[in-house]
Structure 1
Amino acid sequence: KYGKKSRYNFRKPYNFILDCSFHIRKKLRKSNSPNLLSDEERRRIEKDTRTKSETKLKKREEKLQKALYYVQEIEPRYASKFIDRYFKTHDLHERLEIIRELSKYKSENIIEFFYKVNACTRNFSLKEESMKYIQSIGLPFVLRRKKQGKKNYIDNEQVKNMSSPEILMKRLYVDDLEKIKKFDVFVSHNSQDEDKIVKFYKKLNKEGYVAYIDWVNDKFDLKRQWCNASTAQVIKQRIKQSKVFVIFLSKSTLNSQWCPWELGYADALGKKICVYKYDDNGEMIPQFYEGYPQIYIDDKLWVDDDEKMEFKEWVNSDKGKQDRKSSNKFTEH
């Protein structure tokens, strides 16, 4: 807090207003004929200023909510290892992948990491990535200027990484960072339920669980227009990396080809599986969905697995584990 440069010491609103009004107040003191406002005129100006300010604040809040729409406001367990690797590696492309991964989450440690990237990193394109993240979540940021004098070629190199399901699949088998990723809940769903899914995984985040959703966690590589055989291999690996498998059952899910396939693969692995019925209006639901525990949401998350219990208790209990023998039969079939 002491002796650091101005990019760390952001002014308080009170001091900011005093600094901005200093010259105006100084001018008024020296003026022989100060412009004194009537009470009515003062109230009118105050009202107009307040109205304009509230309009600006509302727009800023809407922009912030839009930026945080896809961000999981929780810190994954592997975040500290990613941060340590960033400051140990000299590979700029690996550093960009770490920045991309951590930009999908929000926590105090991750925010502090992005401030450190701006302070310590010489490459300007990586500093701009940290700026985009910090500004998108509505926090103050002062971009560190480019180095003066003689520059290294690394300083001005534009770091860009290629993205595709094939590239991600290769990283899954080669990259140590991809191997240490762990998720609490894999959410199987239909992408047509985007708004419903966002609300659902935000609820999981509040309960302390990191969710995996392909178009959120692998948004740079698993785009819908790129869907192919490599996408299926990536999904398999993400199911393996997840502790619990939850299928978000809605009208759209019943028309999906991917959801039953993902459910069958998770069952074959012996994963803990539960079903969240979003549209439970008496429509015909395939019987194989009825054989799994159901999840309910009110103030907390509940699971009905012969008995009603909190989701966190169910996750840590032996209930819900699939029979390995039946899984093997399913695989052979």
Structure 2
Amino acid sequence: MTIAQYDLRNAAARNFFAKNQRSRGYLQKAGFLCHSHKDRELALGLQQWLKEQGMDLYIDWQDASMPESPDATTAARIRTVIRGSDVFLFLATSNSMGSRWCPWELGFADGVMRNEQIAVIATRDASGNHYGNEYLQLYRRIDQAAVGGSLYWYQKGSQSPQTLASF
């Protein structure tokens, strides 16, 4: 089941327990989020949702070392963070599907990470449009549980959910 963008917005509205606490010692996994900057609220919602499940999710515009305008320094920093991440997550929306940076980031991750480390978060908007389905045959996916609202990981082509801990 694709994740409703509405649910990501609701997660963004929840309080962060410590906005600047980014300790890998506390959180089990570190992820890189590939997304469109036009989807800030959705990115924050996913970050909060995954934080509640034990993952620290890197979002580039929260990184004070990033330059104001994208340039070669931006690309170098993104490469470094992707290489240091346990997982690479692609938040599929109409904005990310039309982005110039998102395909570059996904292609870079595909070249330096194992296939099992890459996952797609397919979403649907309020109109019922679905995004990201074309990538689901290539990579793992993250879906929302029908009951309880937790996020689950699925191997490509599998219908058997796994918890974040088993990723």
8 Å contact from structure 1 (residues 184, 243) kept in 2: yes
Q: 2:160 aligns with which of 308, 311, 315?
A: 308
Deviations, residues 239-277 of structure 1 (Å, cap 9, x unaligned): 011001110000101111111111111111123111001
8 Å contact from structure 2 (residues 122, 131) kept in 1: no
Larger gyration radius, structure 1 or structure 2: 1
* AA partner of residue 75 (structure 2): A
* AA partner of residue 195 (structure 1): E
Q: 1:296 aligns with which of 143, 146, 166?
A: 143
Match of 2:50 in 1: 204
8 Å contact from structure 2 (residues 123, 131) kept in 1: no
User: Relative to 1, partners in 2 of residues 1:268 and 1:185: Cα closer, same or farther, differing over 3 Å?
Assistant: same
Deviations, residues 251-304 of structure 1 (Å, cap 9, x unaligned): 101111111111111111123111001227455757345421211124221122
- State the Cα RMSD in Å: 3.0
Match of 1:259 in 2: 102
Counterpart Cα distance in 2 of 1:289 and 1:214: 24
8 Å contact from structure 2 (residues 34, 90) kept in 1: yes
8 Å contact from structure 1 (residues 183, 212) kept in 2: no
Match of 1:22 in 2: none
Q: Kindly indicate whether residue 126 of structure 2 is the aligned counterpart of residue 276 of structure 1.
A: no
* AA partner of residue 162 (structure 2): E
* SS of structure 1 residue aligned to 2:55: coil
8 Å contact from structure 1 (residues 245, 266) kept in 2: yes
Ranges in structure 2 where 5+ consecutive residues have no aligned partner? 1-12
Alignment coverage as a number of residue pairs: 145
Alignment of 1:51-70 (within 5 A): none
Give the number of the structure with larger relative contact order, counting CA–CA contacts within 8 Å between residues 6 or more apart.
Answer: 2
Residue 221 of structure 1, CA deviation: 2.4
Q: 1:71 aligns with which of 3, 16, 19?
A: 19
Q: Post-superposition, which runs of at least 4 consecutive aligned residues in structure 1 deviate over 6 A?
A: none
* AA partner of residue 23 (structure 2): P
Counterpart Cα distance in 1 of 2:100 and 2:17: 27
Counterpart Cα distance in 2 of 1:232 and 1:207: 29
Taking structure 1 as the reference length, the TM-score comes to 0.39
Residue 235 of structure 1, CA deviation: 0.1
Taking structure 2 as the reference length, the TM-score comes to 0.73
Counterpart Cα distance in 2 of 1:296 and 1:285: 12
* AA partner of residue 107 (structure 2): G
Larger strand fraction of residues: 2
User: Relative to 1, partners in 2 of residues 1:247 and 1:241: Cα closer, same or farther, differing over 3 Å?
Assistant: same
User: Relative to 1, partners in 2 of residues 1:300 and 1:236: Cα closer, same or farther, differing over 3 Å?
Assistant: same
Q: 2:65 aligns with which of 208, 221, 224?
A: 221
Alignment of 1:17-96 (within 5 A): 71=19, 75-77=22-24
8 Å contact from structure 2 (residues 92, 132) kept in 1: no
User: Relative to 1, partners in 2 of residues 1:78 and 1:231: Cα closer, same or farther, differing over 3 Å?
Assistant: farther
* AA partner of residue 222 (structure 1): M
* AA partner of residue 19 (structure 2): V
Deviations, residues 218-244 of structure 1 (Å, cap 9, x unaligned): 1x2224x32111110110000011001
User: Relative to 1, partners in 2 of residues 1:266 and 1:284: Cα closer, same or farther, differing over 3 Å?
Assistant: closer
* SS of structure 1 residue aligned to 2:65: coil
